[in-house]
Amino acid sequence: ERGRRGALLLSTWIFIIGGLVQSFAPSLIVVMVARAIVGVASGASTVLVPIYLGEMAPPNLRGVIGTMTQFACVVGILFADIVGFVLANETSWRWMFSLTTVFGICQLALTPFLLESPRWLLGKNPSSSKARFIIKKLRGFRYDEEVETEVEHYLGAAKTQSLDDDSDGGQDKEKKSVMAEMLADEKVRLLVVSTLVLQVANQFSGINAVFYYSGLFFDGVIDNPLVGTTLMGAINVVATYIALLLMDRCGRRTLIMWSSAGMFLSCVVIVLSLLGYFSKMVALGAVAAYVSFFEIGLGPIPWLIVAEMFGGKYVTVAMSMSCQLNWICNFFVGLFFPVMNEALGAYSFGPFAVVLLLVFLYAWIWLPETAGTTPAELQAQLVEKNSGVTYHNMDIEGMAAHAPPSKGEWEQALADLAADEENNGNL
């Protein structure tokens, strides 16, 4: 109800409050509670920011701007690693926690530049003058005609979705949950499945196993594990910057395939290195390649692709569902990787390699390309693609073209025949 801007401001205030509580915490229990508060704000931001950027960005820049979310995350991780060198000790930890509040206040100071999403405003009121003002400001338009053309792009997708809802029986669909409605809609179902598959792949690729337990790879090579973790963070930033350059030059599907294939091969090298076939330096190189390939595809794309796949009606639910699934998978990886590592030993990255192979096959066969399209255009492409599919030697499109006449057509034909007979009798 408060819009994208209002929700982002609310999460900012939660960051500030959580940061203050953890900075002045008198005990470990209070620190844990404060961390939970900050975690709520982090989860909310994970959902809101990709939606907001996806709705604000023009189609030709959506990939780059969407990847900025991932870029900001990896820069933040690197910054936290560097700060840890100085402040992660018994005397300075409160100063480290206070940085959460400092950045929250900085974000609050920049809120005059935080515009509301025009797509959200137009969804609430198609005649919104505020939405038109924001579009003009964002796109740099000089003439009202240009603004109205952009508005029609937003409203056209909303009208298409509304017509689809009416044709499917609005009263019955209102009784369903939005999730059930998305799965029941044949035009949206593949997009929902693709979103969930990419979120699972984002975590079950094993990327956080590398970051959480990176000391396993640096043992015997780098004395201070924090140095190794910071090195991985720096590689992460460089690889994400490369992803910014590639995101709108290559398709999302292509980058997912390159990412999963590169990570798969890196996993194979890591396993062989842990078995003793290669040196630990080769293993470190494979880990660096693994992280780099993650950042060009499976890192940013599962988040930015949601706003490209779903219109205003579904995008919030889809992103919320994706975020929940991602964090659940993240929890399981962090919890069970030590157990898996103890049980499988050198083969602990084998299950991740299997997941990556399956992701590559899914992207190759089923994943739709979303670059440069609107959600309505993407759904239309899927309908067109599926309309010509032949099942068991039956051409669905051809059968539809030669379908039996409807009841109305029969009645009209009989009326015309009766009229012809009457005219012949009069002659």
Rounded CA-CA distance 60/329 in Å is 32
402-415 exposure pattern, b = at least 16 Cβ within 10 A, e = fewer? eeeeeeeeeeeeee
Rounded CA-CA distance 403/397 in Å is 10
Rounded CA-CA distance 84/187 in Å is 48
For residue 249, list its beta bridge partners: none
Task: Give the closest residue to 308 by CA, choosing from 16, 62, 41.
Answer: 62
Residue 54, CA atoms < 13 Å, CB-side half-sphere:
28
Question: Which pair of tokens denotes residue 329?
Answer: 């998978």
pLDDT of residue 32: 92
157, with CB counted inside 10 A (0-12, 13-18, 19+), is buried
Rounded CA-CA distance 137/129 in Å is 12
**Lookup result for tokens 């109205």:** 148
Interior angle at CA 71, CA 67 and CA 74, nearest 5? 140
Rounded CA-CA distance 391/380 in Å is 20
pLDDT of residue 361: 94
User: What pTM was computed for the model?
Assistant: 0.66
pLDDT of residue 387: 53
**DSSP letters for 240-257:** HHHHHHHTTTS-HHHHHH
Q: Between β-strands 390-391 and 394-395, what pairing exists: parallel, antiparallel or unpaired?
A: antiparallel
Sign of CA dihedral 250, 253, 256, 260: negative
Contact 236, 77 (CB under 8 A): yes
Contact 59, 372 (CB under 8 A): yes
**What amino acid occupies position 256?**
I
Helices (H), 57-175: 62-87, 93-109, 118-124, 129-139, 144-167, 170-174
Rounded CA-CA distance 156/135 in Å is 16
Contact 264, 350 (CB under 8 A): no
First and final C-alpha spacing in the chain: 72
Instruction: Name the strand (E) or helix (H) holding 395.
Output: strand 394-395
Mean pLDDT in consecutive groups of 10 residues from the start of the chain, 427 residues? 83 92 90 91 84 77 75 85 82 88 92 85 82 82 78 64 48 55 74 88 85 65 69 82 78 88 91 83 84 87 80 75 86 84 84 92 86 65 56 39 45 59 57
Question: Which pair of tokens denotes residue 23?
Answer: 């900075």
Sign of CA dihedral 200, 201, 202, 208: positive
CA 160 to the chain's CA centroid = 23
Task: Give the closest residue to 57 by CA, choosing from 307, 357, 348.
Answer: 307
Contact 50, 304 (CB under 8 A): yes
Residue 322, CA atoms < 13 Å, CB-side half-sphere:
32
Residue 46, CA atoms < 13 Å, CB-side half-sphere:
19
pLDDT of residue 385: 62
Q: How many CB atoms lie within 10 A of CB 297?
A: 31
Task: Give the closest residue to 228 by CA, choosing from 152, 180, 288, 171.
Answer: 288
